[in-house]
Amino acid sequence: MADVDAPWVERFLQQLWLQEGLANATQQAYRRDLAFLSQWLQQQHGQQAIQQTEASLLSCDRASLHAMLEARVQQGYHHRSNARLLSSLRRFFRQARELGWRAEDPTALLESPRAARPLPNSLSESDVEQLLAAATGDEALSLRDRAMLELMYASGLRVSELVGLPLGQLSLRQGVLRVIGKGNKERLVPMGEEAVAWLTRYLDQARPELLEGQPAEAVFVSRRGAALTRQAFWYRIKHYAKLAGLRSSLSPHSLRHAFATHLLNHGADLRSLQLLLGHSDLGTTQIYTFVARERLKALHERHHPRG
């Protein structure tokens, strides 16, 4: 910690101890956080990145704090660590203003930069075609798997909604299915001609063979006549991804992401996509706009003469 800051930090900690009787561990945490900022300010001042006559806690401004937090994000600090640090700084600067050590609180209205939200891993349209084509053959299991893959890509179902889909919620004639999603909310989802065709073939040929006369409510069943589990479908996805030469990290949710991304790429609006996916909050759906945007940027860079 810079010599100019050490006395003020100690006065701050004494005030807190008198007011609240802070535990030693808590005092040490405050001291570490304030020392971090003090040292960062000194380093930046030495590099003349911060234009001020003195680099100290009592002369630190909001721009400097924001730059420090942004630097921590770039360095990979977890957003919780940054939030905890900012909490300590808020406490110090609030106290400094109240005691007249400085005129204003630079942490007022300052938000901790959030970690970038990870973009969902999606498949290109050609990737999906390769995956679907890998599930070939007239065997009952192959027909079932192809129908499941086609339906998931055509409807954007969650894997739990797919494996738990009952026959009574499927209307091949109308080309729609009724889904009971999260929060027991119901939505109608179109399936598309290709998915309907594969479902019809599966229901007519493969499902009776798998059931061997046993009754079952689920659309997609195993050889034992029970509803297929999420784990089993995950295993089948991995199997076909390997056959298609796709990445090993592929999961059932990858098809849901592909459904959403490809619809946006072809002009679907966000509100319609929210209804199809069954998201209660439009903010959850908005992540796909970033996926589509990143793909368009990559496309531009790859093919535009001045990209």
Catalytically annotated residues: 158, 182, 253, 256, 279, 288
DSSP string, 186-242: EEEEE--HHHHHHHHHIIIIIHHHHHTT---SBSSB-TTSSBPPHHHHHHHHHHHHH
CB 201 within 8 A of CB 209: no
186 sits in which H/E element:
strand 186-190
The residues, ordered by sequence, that sit 6+ positions from 16 with a Cβ below 8 Å of its Cβ are: 22, 27, 30, 91, 95
Cross-strand bridge partners of residue 10:
none
* Distance separating alpha carbons of residues 92 and 143, to the nearest angstrom: 66
Which amino acid type is present at position 295?
R
Q: Which residue has the tokens 């091949």?
A: 172
Nearest to 14 by CA among 33, 27, 29, 32: 27
